[in-house]
């Protein structure tokens, strides 16, 4: 069986992948995550997931590449194709929450698996419905420290979950790794046996 490497620094992705496989290594990928002009969210996450997987795959010794598989992933939040990255300051965060409040937005998660020179990719789109968010709730949530390193400025699995009325799609994809689709990728590559 191939050794699996997760090309991500996200503890949330590592935790989710642990639901599928017990033995894997984590190596953070150092890639430029700058959004290209006119790039749509699904294209962005697909490109970045592949970049991360390839960057870590290329770090491995040539002789050992046949016995490894690298999984890369990326998640973005978008409102009407406007990509909402991690907030840079409170003003930026406030604008994001104002956009997301009392509306529906999309979360796109791309996953790429490189295994024996084969590259397979998927993109999962989930719709998230937010309740109205008051000015006080925006300020209080910022003070928790949770939004600062989260795409779209919130964590569905954390305090930010209190704003989510419902979702249509994959909960685990919103957290950072779509479990069903990732399981299928790993199974097709022979990395998960008996799945």
**Hey, which residues are catalytic here?**
74
Phi-psi region of 102 (alpha: psi -120 to 50; beta: other; left: phi over 0): left
Listed in sequence order, the residues at least 6 apart from 58 whose beta carbon sits closer than 8 Å to its beta carbon are none
What does the alpha-carbon distance between residue 83 and residue 41 come to, in Å, rounded to a whole number? 6
What does the alpha-carbon distance between residue 116 and residue 183 come to, in Å, rounded to a whole number? 18
Which of 49, 53, 85 minimizes the C-alpha distance to 178?
49
């Amino acid at each position: 069986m191939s050794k699996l490497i997760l090309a991500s620094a996200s503890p949330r992705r590592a935790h989710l992948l642990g639901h599928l496989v017990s033995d894997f290594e984590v190596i953070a990928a150092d890639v430029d995550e700058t959004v290209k002009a006119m790039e749509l969210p699904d294209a962005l996450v697909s490109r970045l997931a592949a970049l991360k997987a390839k960057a870590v795959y290329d770090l491995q010794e040539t002789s050992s590449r046949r016995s490894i598989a690298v999984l890369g992933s990326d998640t973005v939040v978008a409102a009407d194709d406007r990509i909402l990255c991690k907030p840079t300051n409170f003003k930026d965060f406030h604008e994001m929450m104002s956009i997301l409040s009392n509306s529906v937005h999309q979360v796109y998660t791309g996953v790429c698996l490189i295994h024996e020179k084969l590259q397979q990719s998927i993109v999962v789109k989930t719709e998230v419905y937010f309740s109205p968010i008051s000015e006080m709730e925006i300020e209080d949530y910022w003070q928790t420290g949770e939004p600062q390193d989260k795409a779209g400025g919130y964590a569905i699995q954390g305090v930010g979950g209190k704003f989510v009325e419902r979702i249509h799609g994959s909960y685990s994809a919103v957290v950072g790794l779509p479990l069903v689709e990732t399981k299928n990728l790993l199974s097709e590559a022979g990395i998960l046996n008996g799945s």
